[in-house]
Amino acid sequence: MARISDVIQLTEERPNELVRRFPERGMGDFRIGSQLIVREAQTAVFFRDGKALDTFEAGRHTLTTANLPLLTGFLSNLVFNEKTIFAAEVFFVNTRDFPNEKWGVGPVPLETPGQGWGWLLVGMNGTFHFQVNERE
């Protein structure tokens, strides 16, 4: 039996998490009229069959045929009402700034031909920051 989600939200935030899928496994069963809660610094993207259909910014959204036009076009053979159930996946994308992320490589042995020194160990490291933005 399908488990229908009437409230779609992430109840806990994990540090340094870029994307989280709802539900974590399988397809979600959602109902027209369900509540989608997107927190600040998040974007929610509905997917079906590997294709991004609709995107929602921060706030509380009631899922209707008006704000899910791509999804409802995809399911156009159904008659929509408050009980209509559709299957999809929702990905919550974290859009906050990720400062001071660390990277590093090393040590890597490098041969020094012609120098007579044998092997040289070289390593590199640093920090960077990034943020997820909407692609044009």
Where do the H-state alpha helices sit in 4-112? 69-74
CB 84 within 8 A of CB 63: no
The pLDDT of residue 37 is 96
Tell me the pLDDT band of 77, cut-offs 50, 70 and 90: very low
Q: Which two tokens stand for residue 47?
A: 């997917």
Give me the half-sphere count of Cα atoms (radius 13 Å) on the Cβ side of residue 51.
Answer: 5
Name the nearest CA neighbour of 100 among 124, 132, 131, 122. Answer: 131
Q: What is the mean pLDDT of the chain?
A: 82
As a whole number, mean pLDDT of residues 37-48 equals 92
